[in-house]
Structure 1
């Protein structure tokens, strides 16, 4: 099967959609499928304007403009992409959508206009945007496009945007070999908590500091440390907030690190904390859970799809509940050991072999 993956964002940009689309391309290629990627993200060496790069055997069409910061936007791309798809002999198109993803929305129009079997996957929670998207989704599904989302939580919003249309769940994938489990850590102080996130408002990183501050106040000095991996525009604000809350000895901003370094950090940690709401999936939480870490997260997010409360982690209904869960986990070594043992001995279901199978099922459904 020859598949076109179309996405605003793709490496060398970093982020959830970027890594998942790239990994999906790699895994489809490894499974014997021909894969080409169309993206509005420039290449590592500035490739743009339709330049084609071959990355790990995958042809990547860099439909990018020269914009400040490599912004992945190109309203001029549709005619050229249309022609390349028409001539490319593709069996299916897979468009990866967010609420704000102008290139992907354009690509959905292009692929459905061509009559190319099209799978549309939402990597976002539509929430209040759902009603505004109904006319577009109605037009595309009438042309045969099929809908999916990366979690059941995200699929709820897609169903509100496309009443009566079946919406499949096509989760993000994880490679357990990339996140090897470590040895069970002895009961020791301080308990090391980690998180990996973009330092941006949507990720609620300021709320993360409030949760940590409240937990430290209840647990006492020396009971807890937090290692934050990732970078973003809120880093200066977070540094000021860390000082204002008196958390300089508790919270360390580690910055962005390679995936291999993050995996090593997980092997030395005791738990993973995610403060996000309206998160469509929570790939970072899945990776931490795969590495054996108990995960503390909010139940009103897609993280609930990868964490079972009381079995692989603790879920909370609000931020106060996150504080309670963190205090409970930090104070109870037996609980930490039990949750970690489950995660170490029970691989997640969102492995790439299963995800590739589900993706192929979506391509067949689109072509039916």
Structure 2
């Protein structure tokens, strides 16, 4: 099968969608499929209209000069249509965020060509839902045969509400389980909490610092530390908070790390915190869980795809409960060890071989719906 993956964002940008789409391309290729990617993200060299090869995946870049190198190109559809026609693709797989103009244009192009089209949302629509409902494009896409999916039930529910009776399946993000499996953990005296995220407002990194301060107050006899891995616009606010609260001795902000370095940090830690309210999935939390860490996060988050309350983590309703859950795990070494043992011994269902099978099933549904079968 020849697959076109279409996404506003792609490498060299770093984020959930960018990395997931490229990893999906690699694993589809390893399963014997031919894959090419199309994006409005410029190349690392700065070139905007170029086809390059990354990890044996052809990447067609259709970018234009915009402030901040925004991955937006309203002029892309004619060229995209030509390349898709010339490419002889069997299916198109479009990847959507909250605001994805390139992906939306791509969907209109592929459906206009009569190409089997799968569309996957990597976001929780939340504030954007009224606008999406008003525009009505979900129903139009479904009527034209698009196979709709989202990365979690949390992300799928708003879509299902907008198109009653139309199937919106869950196509989870995938991970290389072998890369993240645990190794022997060296004992240490402190309790180390860790999180990895883009330091953006919606991820709530500053709020996490306050939650952690409250957790430390609830566990006064525990040497509780927090390491926040990642970069983003909120770093300055976080550094200011650390300075104002004299928290240098228990907060660490080392920046963005490689996957190998992330794994090592997880191995050296005791628990993982996922503070974002509008997390559609939480790939970093899944990777940490696979390494063995108990995960703490909201009940209404996409982490519920792989975190069972009281089994391999703790699910909470608000920041006050989150502080209490952190303090509880910090104090209870037996509970941490039990959850760690479960995570190490029980592989998550989101391993890439299974995700690839589910992806191909979605493509088959797209082909059936396109032909009216």
Report the TM-score, using the length of structure 1 for normalisation. Answer: 0.97
Q: SS state of the match for residue 155, structure 2?
A: helix
Contact 1:146/1:362 (8 A) holds in 2: yes
Alignment correspondent of 2:120: 121
Answer yes or no: is the 8 Å Cα contact 1:185–1:270 preserved in 2: no
Q: In 2, Cα distance between the equivalents of 1:244 and 1:66?
A: 40
Cα RMSD (Å): 1.2
Alignment correspondent of 1:80: 79
CA–CA separation in structure 2 for the residues paired with 1:229 and 1:75: 35
Deviations 1:240-270 (A, max 9, x none): 1112223111100010011111111111111
How far the C-alpha of 1:222 sits from its partner, in A, is 5.7
Counterparts in 2 of 1:28-177, with a 5 A limit? Answer: 28-49=28-49, 51-134=50-133, 135-177=136-178
Distance 2:186 2:312 in 1: 16
In structure 2, runs of 5+ residues without a counterpart are: 369-373
Aligned to 1:235: 235
Q: Secondary structure in 2 aligned to 1:209?
A: helix
Matched residue of 1:12: which SS? coil
Q: Aligned pair 1:277/2:287, yes or no? A: no
Question: Do residues 301 (structure 1) and 301 (structure 2) align?
Answer: yes
Deviations 1:125-156 (A, max 9, x none): 11243343241111111111010000011110
CA contact 1:131–1:160 (8 Å) conserved in 2: no
CA distance in 2, matches of 1:293, 1:201: 25
Normalised TM-score (structure 2): 0.96
Aligned residues of 1:190 and 1:223 also touching (Cα < 8 A): yes
Equivalents in 2 of 1:203, 1:40: separation in Å? 24
* Per-residue deviation, 1:164: 1.7
CA contact (8 A) 2:218 2:324 kept: no
**Contact 1:173–1:350 (CA<8 Å) still a contact in 2?**
yes
Q: Deviations over 1:103-139 (max 9, x none)?
A: 1111111111111100010001112433432411111
**Contact 1:196 1:229 (C-alpha < 8 Å) held by counterparts:** yes
In the alignment, the residues of structure 1 paired with residue 146 and residue 52 of structure 2 have an alpha-carbon distance, to the nearest angstrom, of: 28
Aligned twin of 1:330: 330
Q: Which runs of 5+ in 1 are unaligned?
A: none
Q: What residue is the counterpart of 2:248 in the other structure?
A: 248
**In structure 1, what is the Cα distance between the partners aligned to 2:68 and 2:317?**
37
- Partner SS for 1:193: strand
Matches within 5 A, 1:5-20: 5-20=5-20
Tell me the SS of whatever aligns to 1:360: helix
Q: Which runs of at least 4 in structure 1 moved beyond 4 Å after TM superposition?
A: none
Distance 1:316 1:139 in 2: 37
1:218 Cα shift? Answer: 2.0
Shift of 1:224: 0.4
Q: Deviations over 1:265-308 (max 9, x none)?
A: 11111111111101100111000001111111111110111101
Contact 2:185/2:268 (<8 A) preserved: no
More off after superposition, 68-77 vs 358-367 = 68-77
Q: What CA distance in whole angstroms lies between the structure 2 residues aligned with 1:220 and 1:249?
A: 15
Q: Contact 1:184/1:340 (CA < 8 Å) preserved in 2?
A: no
Aligned residues: 366
CA distance in 2 between partners of 1:277 and 1:252 (Å): 22
Q: Assess if the C-alpha contact under 8 Å between 1:189 and 1:224 holds in 2.
A: no
- Determine if contact 2:181/2:344 at 8 Å carries over to the other structure: no
